[in-house]
Structure 1
Amino acid sequence: MLINADFSRRADLVPEHYRWMASPQCGVERVMLDRVGAEIARATSIVRYAPDSWFPRHCHPGGEEILVLSGTFSEGGAHYPAGWYMRNPPGSSHQPSSKEGAVLFVKLRQMAQREEHRVRIDTRDPNAWKRDGGREFCPLFANDVEHVCLRRLSPGEPLFGESVEGAELLVLTGEIISGDQSFGPGGWIRLPEGTYPEDIAGNSGASVYLKTGRQIGAMEEA
C-alpha cells in the first residue's frame, strides 16, 4: 500500500477529509496520512482507541513515536493523558490500551536502528518548554538527522526562519496558513526540502508538532 509515498512532493490533509479505517484490532481505527507497506508498514497515522479497547502485546522492530492528542493512552500499568509524547525504540514491545478512549498521532518504523532509549515527556509541564530568540518550543527529540518539538507561534509568526531539509507538522491548536490553505487543529502537512516563508500562524496563533530533517523522506537510510 502506498499513501503519500513520494517524499519529494508536498502532502497534506485537513480533518474534514479524514477517512477512518478499521485496524486489525476491534475498537481501534486510524486515518492513514502516509504509508509505505501493507499491515506491516512505515506509516504515519491518526489512531483512535474506543473506550476499553486494546492491542495484544507486540514488538516494534522499527520503533514507534506517539503524541497523545486526547483521552488517555495506557501501556501496561502506565497511563498517559493528552499532551504526553513517547518514543519506543526499535526492538521494544508493549501492550497498549485505553480505558476511556484516546486519539493519538503515531509514526511507525521511522527511527534509526541505533536508537536505544525510551522517551516520555509531559508537554503540559511548563518546565518542558524553552525560549530561544523569541521562539517558544518544547524539545522532544534530536539527533544528527532529525529534530522534533512542539512549537507555539504568535499571530502571523512564520513557521520557518530558514530553508529546511524536510518538515512535517500537525496543528494542535489555532491555525496555520500555508499559501492559500488554512489548517486548523488536526491539519497535517509534510513538506519536501525547500523554503516556506508563506507558512505562518493565523490570527489566533498556533501550536504545532514539528519534525524537521532529512529523515522525513529517508527513514530507510537512517
Structure 2
Amino acid sequence: MNSSNLTKESLAKLFDHTFLKAYATDADLTKLCDEAKTMNTAMVAINTEWTAFCKEQLKDSDVHVGAAIGFPLGQCGLETKLFECRHAIEQGADEIDYVINIGQAKMHHWDYIKDEMEKIVAICKEHHVLSKVIFENCYLEKEEIQKLSEIAKEVKPDFIKTSTGFGTGGATAEDVKLMKDTVGDAVQVKAAGGIRSWQTCKAMIDAGATRIGTSSSIQILKEFEEANA
C-alpha cells in the first residue's frame, strides 16, 4: 500500500478507532461508536466487556466491533483466552485482537506460541471473524519479532500487530517493515501504539501496515486533509 494514493475515506477505513482505558463508561463508548460511524472506520477496538454494547451502537453501519483478548498483558493463560475469545464472538465481535504470552516468547517456547495462535485463530476462522495477534514488540528482540512473524506466516491469522499501546513503547516503522518482510502477502500487519499524527501514520503505512490502531483517528484525518489541501 502506498500512502500517496489514499483519500480521506480510504484512510479512515484503515483505522481501528480505539478506546481501551480502564475507566471507560457508556458515554465514552457511545462517543467512540458515533465517531467511528461518522468517519466510517474499519473497526472500534474495545475491551470485551463492551462488545455487545458497541455491537448495538454500530448495528446500522459497516463498522466492525473488535474485542481485545488477554489484554493488555497476555498473561491470563490459554484456556482463559480461549473462553474470552468465544465469549466475545457470542457477544457480537467481528474481529479479535489477542495478546500473545510474551513470557513464553521471551523463553523461546515457540511450540507454546504456535499452539496458542493455532487455537485462537481456529476459533476465529470457525466463526468467520478476523484474527489479529499482538506481539508487544517493545519487550522483544528483533530476532524474536522475526520468529513470531515466521510462526504467523505458517498459522495464517489475518493480521500480526505491533503493540497494545500499554507497554513501554509502541509501533515503529522499522518493526512494521520487519514483520511485513517476513510474512509477505500471507498475513497483514497492524501498527498500533503511539500513532497520533498523520506523519507517524504515513510512515507505518509506507512500511507495510494495512491497519492502524489509534485513539487519534480524528486528529490524523484532520492533518491528512491539511497536508493534501
TM class by smaller structure = 0.3 to 0.5
Q: TM-score, normalised by structure 1?
A: 0.33
Which structure: greater helix fraction?
A: 2
Structure with greater proportional strand content: 1
